Amino acid sequence: MIETLSLLLALAAGVLLGSIFFGGLWWTVRKGFSSNQPALWFFGSLLLRTGITLAGLYFVAAGHWERLLACLIGFVLARLIVTRLARRATKPSYWAGEANHAPYSR
């Protein structure tokens, strides 16, 4: 019972870490392209997101490979969720007619 609870908590921590990592990446891409110094945004974000993720994985695993695996599964689930949400949030309505934008030539 206690082991199952620790694995579920590790899974939830993985989802949280993945949400921070990939949500931060999405936010960085949106802010970085409109910034005067995009390299600083991308490099700083990479260091911060990677540091948080590695520290979180180390803390959650606590020397148990089972917890690490559950956390990594949660991390991948968060990637799928954030990717799907980001795709919906950034898809402009004009993409529906994208195939018709090229001029017709014979």
pLDDT at site 33: 85
Q: Which of 58, 68, 74 is nearest to 17 (CA)?
A: 74
Summarised one tens digit per residue, pLDDT across range 59-68 is: 999 989 999 9
Q: What pTM, to 2 d.p., does this model score?
A: 0.77
**What is the per-residue pLDDT for 95?**
52
Low-confidence ranges of the chain (pLDDT < 70): 91-106
Neighbour count for residue 75 (Cβ, 10 Å): 23
Question: What pLDDT is recorded for position 2?
Answer: 77
Number of helical (H) and strand (E) elements in the chain, helices listed first: 3, 0
b/e burial code for range 7-44 (CB count within 10 A of at least 16 → b): beebbebbbbbbbbbbbbbbebeeebeeeeeeeebbee
User: What pLDDT does residue 97 have?
Assistant: 52
